[in-house]
Amino acid sequence: MPEITPVKEPKILIAGAGIGGLTVAILLEKAGIEYQLFERDEQVCTQGSATGLGFNVMPLLEQLGLLEELKSISKIIDGTTIFKEDMEIIREIRLRNNKTLTGYDSLVTSRPQLHALLSSRVPQEKVHMNKKIVSLTQDSESVTITCADGSSYTGDILIGADGSYSSVRQALYNEMKKENILPNNTEDGDVSLVSHYMSILGTTNPMNPANFEGLQDDESHCDTVIGEERGLTWRYFTIPNNRICWRVDVQSSSMDPKLYENWLNADYNMFDVSQLPEEWKQHKLPIMGELKDLFENTPKESISKVVLEEKIFETWKHGRTVLIGDAAHRLLPNFGALNAILDAVVLVNCLYEMPSATDKHIAKAFDDYYLERFPTTKRELNSVQQMSTVLAGKTWLDTAARFVLLKLVPKYFKEKSLEYTLSYRPQALFLPRIETKGTAPLTPQRPSKKYAVYLKAQASTSTTAL
Ligand SMILES: Cc1cc2nc3c(=O)[nH]c(=O)nc-3n(C[C@H](O)[C@H](O)[C@H](O)COP(=O)(O)OP(=O)(O)OC[C@H]3O[C@@H](n4cnc5c(N)ncnc54)[C@H](O)[C@@H]3O)c2cc1C
C-alpha cells in the first residue's frame, strides 16, 4: 500500500503502550503521521486474562491486516452460560445470529497475546519503554511530557492512553483545576478510586484436555458462576492451545473489609493467590475441576489483580491533550480493549482530517472525536452497570432483578447490547474500505475529503505514467 503524506504533519506523543496506545500507533503509522509512544513498564507485560473482541472492531482489524492472525490466537464466542454454585444453569445466552447480522464472529483471546500481536506491528524504534510520564505542560504552541527519569518530550498533541490510573488524566485535571475550568459536579471532580469490585485474573498454561470438558472445542466455553458467598463470582473463557483465561471477581462492598483491605489501591499488580481463602480454591467449574486447578496451572508472576470501578469521565480533552480507553472510561474487564480500539480509530480519523496542527484545528478534531465516542460509551456503561449488578449483586433486590432479567426476559441482554453495538463498525477513513458484510444496517461514516484527494492524485499519477 502506498505511503500517505499529509499536507502538514502533527507530531503526536502517545502515553501508554497498552491496547489503545498500540492501536493508535498502528493507525498513525498507516496514516503517515509522526508519533512516538511512551510506556511506563520496562518490558512487555505478560499479565492478563481474557480479552473479548466483538464484531464492531472486526472490519477495522481486517483493514489493518490483523484479523487472520487474531483468529489464529482466538476462539469464537458463541454464547455464555451463567451457573449457580451447585451448577444449576441460570441462563444460557447464545450469539449465533451475530455472524449473519454482521459478517463476523466475536472472538476471545488472552490479553498478552493480543498485546503481542499489536506490538508486532509497531516499529520498535518508536516505542520508548521505561518512560513513566509524571507531568505535562501545554500552551498554544505545543505539549510537553516529563518522565520519571527526568527526560522530557515535546509534540503537537498528547494522547493519554495510559489506562485506568492515567497520569495524563490526573495531570490534565490538575491543570484544569488550577485554571478553574474542571467541570464541577461531574465525575471529573473526583479522581480518587472508589472501589467497586476487584478481579483476580490470569491465563493458564496448556491444560490436560482429558481433565476438562470441551477444552478442544472450536468455540470458547465462556461460563460464569455466581457463588453463594456474598459478592463472589468466578468466570473463564477457554482459548486455543488448551489454555483457560480466568477471573475471580470480588464485590468489595459485599465483603468483610478485613478480607480485602490489603488488596486495594493497586493497578494491575501481581497477586499471590495463596492469600485467598482455602474454600474458594475448591469452588467447582462447569467444565470440571476446581478454581485451584486454574490457580496452580497459571505462572505465579502472571497472576494479577485489579480494583475496578465502572466509571466514565466527562472531560476527555483540554488544549492539546486528549484521553482514550481506560484513561477516559473504566468499564467491565474483558471488553475494555474493544472500547479502546474504537476510541483509537475514531480519534485517528479525526486527526487525519485535521488541516494543520493549530490550536483551532486540534480543538475541532478533539470535539468531533468526543461527540462520536462519549454518548456511545456512556450508554454502554449504563448497560454494563445494570448487567454487573444483576450478575454479581447479592441483595434481595439484585437477586430478584437477576431472576426477572435472566429468566423472565430472556432476550434482554442480547437485544440491549446489540441495539448499541450492531450498527457501529467504524473503519479507518484513510485506508481502502472493507466491504460491508452481514445483513444488519451500518452507521454511515462521513468519507475523508483528504483521502479522496489523495486517491485522485494517485490515479492521475498512474495515468500519467501510462
Ligand atoms: C497488566 C494489565 C493486564 C490487564 N489484563 C486485562 C485482562 O485480563 N482482561 C481485560 O479485559 N483487560 C485487561 N487489562 C485492561 C485492558 O487492557 C484495558 O481495559 C483495555 O485494553 C483498554 O486499554 P487501554 O490502552 O486504555 O489501557 P491498558 O491496556 O491498561 O494500557 C495502559 C498502558 O499504559 C501504561 N501506563 C500506565 N501509566 C503510565 C504512565 N504514567 N506513563 C506511561 N505509561 C503508562 C501501562 O503500563 C499500560 O501499558 C489489563 C491491563 C493491564 C495494564
Residue 404 has pLDDT above 60, yes or no: no
376 domain residue, yes or no: yes
User: Could you report the per-residue pLDDT of 70-121, keeping only the tens digit for each?
Assistant: 999 999 998 889 999 999 998 888 877 788 889 999 999 999 999 999 999 9
Residues linked to residue 155 through DSSP beta bridges, in sequence order: 143
Q: What does the pLDDT read at residue 150?
A: 97
Let me know if 278 is exposed, middle or buried by CB neighbors in 10 A (0-12, 13-18, 19+): exposed
Mean pLDDT computed over 453-458: 90
> Residue 194 Cα, ligand 1 centroid: separation in angstroms?
19
Residue 210 lies in a domain: no
pLDDT for the residue numbered 299: 95
Query: 94 C-alpha vs ligand 1 centroid, how far in Å?
Result: 29
Q: What is the chain's length?
A: 466
Q: Is the pLDDT of residue 388 over 50?
A: yes
State how far the Cα of 329 lies from the Cα of 84, in Å rounded to an integer.
30
Give me the chain's average pLDDT, please: 86
Instruction: Sheet with 89-94: list strands edge to edge.
Output: 89-94, 79-84, 222-226, 232-239, 243-250, 197-203, 304-308, 269-270
Task: Identify whether 79 is part of a domain.
Answer: no
Ligand 1 atom nearest 147 alpha carbon: 42
**Residue 218 within a domain:** no
Q: What is the pLDDT of residues 193-232, one digit of tens each?
A: 454 678 899 999 999 999 999 999 999 999 999 998 878 8
Calculate how far, in angstroms, residue 165's C-alpha sits from the geometric centre of ligand 1: 9
**Residue identifier of the C-alpha nearest atom 29 of ligand 1:** 18
| Protein residues with CB under 6 Å of any ligand 1 atom | 15-21, 38-41, 45, 47-51, 111, 132-133, 161-163, 167, 201, 268, 304, 325-327, 333-334, 336-337, 340
Distance from the CA of 101 to the center of ligand 1, in angstroms? 31
pTM for the model: 0.90
The residue that leads in pLDDT, 186 or 85, is 85
Q: Tell me the per-residue pLDDT of 304-348, one tens digit each, with 9 for 90 and over.
A: 988 777 788 999 999 999 999 999 987 666 678 999 999 999 999
pLDDT (average), residues 232-243: 95
How many structural domains does the chain have?
1
Q: What share of the chain in percent tops pLDDT 70?
A: 81
Q: Which of 31, 32, 20, 15 is nearest to 155 (CA)?
A: 15
Domain-embedded: residue 429: yes
Q: Pick the residue whose CA is nearest to atom 3 on ligand 1.
A: 48
343-359 pLDDT per residue, tens: 999 999 999 999 999 99
- What was the pLDDT predicted at 5? 47
Taking the centre of ligand 1 as the mean of its atom positions, its distance from the CA of residue 302, in whole angstroms, is 14
Boundaries of domain holding 391: 11-44+61-71+108-192+313-449
Does the residue 412 lie in any domain? yes
Integer Cα distance of 290 and 7 in angstroms: 59
Query: Quick check: is 279 in a domain?
Result: no
Q: How do strand 157-160 and strand 197-203 relate by DSSP bridges? A: unpaired
Q: Would 205 be classed as within a structural domain?
A: no
Note the pLDDT of residue 263: 60
CATH number for the domain spanning 172: value is 3.50.50.60
Q: Classify strands 106-110 and 127-128 as parallel, antiparallel or unpaired.
A: unpaired
CA atoms within 13 Å, Cβ hemisphere of 224: 18
Residue listed under C-alpha cell 518490558 = 43
Integer CA distances (angstroms), 313 to 335, 435, 463, in order: 18, 34, 50
Is the pLDDT at 423 greater than 80? The verdict is: yes
